[in-house]
Amino acid sequence: MGDLASDDAARVDLHERGRGATMTLLADRERLGALTQDLPSRASRLVPFVALVLDLLVIAGSLALATAGRSSAFLFARPADLSQSAAYLAPIVAVGWVLMLVIRGAYAADVFGVGTEEYRIVLAAGLLSAGLLGVGAYLLHVELSRGFFSILFLVGIPAMLLARFALRRLLQAARRRGALGRSVMIMGHAPYVDLISGVLGRQPWLGLRVVGCLTPDGDDGLTQAGVPVVGPIRNVAAAIAEHEVDVLVFAPGAYTSPSQIREAVWELEGRDVEFVVAPSMTDISSERIKMRPVGGLPLIHVTPPTWTDASRWGKRTFDVVGALFCLAVLSPVLVASAAWVKLHDGGPVLFRQRRTGRHGEEFSCLKFRSMVPDAERRLTELTTDDSTSVLFKMKRDPRVTRPGRVLRRFSIDELPQLINVLRGEMSLVGPRPPLPSEVSRYEGHTARRLHVRPGLTGLWQVSGRSDLSWEEAVRLDLYYVDNWSMIQDLNILLKTVGAVVSSRGAY
């Protein structure tokens, strides 16, 4: 009996040890998981430090280049004065330039990776540093070489902007891969939570990862878009601490009065949380929004849509000049493509299709023929299960010819539309030209796409082309119509080159 009791005791002790080891292992795994989950947030805080190091390297390099090149005769330098001033000017310039960057907010966490504010700050700080150095040298009667001054800032400011651009590209690439991100909690009614979560999900380069939401009722579960509901709004402090949130977004429905938002900010002060208030409007460019506080009340001023500006002579002149330039430069490609299409099967070179332009006027849209001559007749024989995109293209359409696959992949088939641009039927940049059958099914405000000329390229072209859903393509087109600007057109044209080279969404 004693042996049996001893064996039982040993087994119990072994079981308890095993269970203890298992619990310890699970606890360690949970701590490791929490640490791993928090790594992107912690690493993102190093970005301002990396930017500071890059700025110091640029300043040091510019100072070295200015010191080496200032003795050239054409820079009007006096070598006798240079050796005496360089020793104390260099550290003063470096400290002063960095100080201007700090004062202007160049190392604030919210300026990296998005918008043009970072570039404006860097440019302003550089110009301010140049002005202060010039004025200070004049007032203190310091012998300052004009060559030294010119090289320092004419090289340093552009180099610093390029360094910030390179850092931004690396940061955005890392965020797309899930690194260097920040966790986001959204407060408000579930439909607004889904809307904001969808917008952030479409922009992975922002690095904002939604970890959950707080709703007025706080029912456990998921929103319609799949965002976890972690509790009611009244438990915001506990939710922020539990999920280690970096950004808290106040969506409509978060509180019933402005004072409650202020009190929530007071409650969470000292927790290193960024607060964002999302208004009840979307798809408005920053150029149309101005914030003007009045009596402590922040008022958002929104200018009217700018689609009327897209119909004026400036854009039309740009279209004509740009189309003529492209036709001249790309004429060898056009001739070679036309010959390949003709020699392949002897059919017509161009494919003409009725499309709907500005104000609903139909026109004949030109393309290089990329399908067999009887493609329209064979269309009814094919199923549309694979044609889920807005352009109704199938990824493996058997009607596409061998030359057509190459022409489509690099969007060469659309180059004849430059003739449509010269005719005034299309623009270089604009919404996608819709089929008349699509226009007949427009509902609500979708017809606003017809306020401007359709484009040879557009936001839809640089955002996925045939991979886009119908709703996303409409949203992009309406955004373009309401927020048109010449700067946006130039930006889209530059991005089109990358989209064509990558062939994303082209088939």
Convert the pLDDT of each residue in 436-489 to its tens digit: 988 988 888 889 999 999 999 998 888 766 567 778 888 889 989 888 888 889
What the block records as the tokens of 442 is 């427009």
Pairing type for strands 182-187 and 427-429 reads: unpaired
Q: Does 411 score more than 90 pLDDT?
A: no
Residue-averaged pLDDT of the chain: 80
Across the range 250-273, mean pLDDT stands at: 84
Which pLDDT score is estimated for 466? 58
Which pLDDT score is estimated for 372? 82
Which pLDDT score is estimated for 309? 73
Convert the pLDDT of each residue in 4-37 to its tens digit: 344 444 444 444 444 444 344 334 434 433 333 4
Convert the pLDDT of each residue in 45-104 to its tens digit: 788 999 999 999 999 999 888 887 655 443 444 444 444 555 567 888 899 999 999 999
Q: Name residue 368's beta-bridge partners.
A: 350
pLDDT band at 139 (very low <50, low <70, confident <90, very high): confident
Residues of the chain with CATH 3.40.50.720: 182-282
Helices (H) and strands (E) in the chain, counts: 16, 12
Contact 280, 252 (CB under 8 A): yes
- Taking CA atoms, 211 is separated from 32, 193, 216, 485, in Å, by 18, 12, 17, 35
CA–CA gap between residue 183 and residue 243 (Å, rounded):
8
Which pLDDT score is estimated for 76? 41
Across the range 318-342, mean pLDDT stands at: 94
Q: What angle do CA 452, 456, 461 make, to 5 degrees?
A: 100
Q: Name residue 252's beta-bridge partners.
A: none
Convert the pLDDT of each residue in 206-248 to its tens digit: 888 999 999 988 777 889 889 999 989 888 888 888 888 989 9
Which pLDDT score is estimated for 395? 58
Q: Does 316 score more than 70 pLDDT?
A: yes
Which pLDDT score is estimated for 207? 86
Question: Any residues with CB less than 8 A from the CB of 229 and at least 6 apart, and which?
Answer: 190, 212, 213, 214, 215, 218, 219, 220, 221, 222, 223
pLDDT band at 131 (very low <50, low <70, confident <90, very high): very high
CA–CA gap between residue 252 and residue 122 (Å, rounded):
35
Q: Does 336 score more than 90 pLDDT?
A: yes
Q: Does 371 score more than 80 pLDDT?
A: yes
Using alpha carbons, select from 346, 385, 350, 380 the residue that is nearest to residue 364.
350
Which pLDDT score is estimated for 378? 66
What the block records as the tokens of 363 is 């026109």
CA–CA gap between residue 476 and residue 490 (Å, rounded):
16
CA–CA gap between residue 172 and residue 218 (Å, rounded):
34
CA–CA gap between residue 161 and residue 142 (Å, rounded):
29
Q: Does 115 score more than 60 pLDDT?
A: yes
CA–CA gap between residue 275 and residue 278 (Å, rounded):
10
User: H/E element holding 335?
Assistant: helix 331-345
Which pLDDT score is estimated for 349? 92
Which pLDDT score is estimated for 54? 94
Place of tokens 């001033």: 85
Across the range 272-282, mean pLDDT stands at: 83
Q: What is the DSSP letter of 249?
A: E
pLDDT band at 298 (very low <50, low <70, confident <90, very high): confident
| SS3 category, 429 | strand
180 backbone dihedrals φ, ψ, rounded to 5°: 55, 30
Torsion of CA 304, 305, 311, 314, to 10 degrees: 70
Residue 28: count other Cβ atoms within 10 Å of its Cβ. 10
Q: Which fold has domain 182-282?
A: Rossmann fold (3.40.50)
Bigger pLDDT: 71 or 113?
113
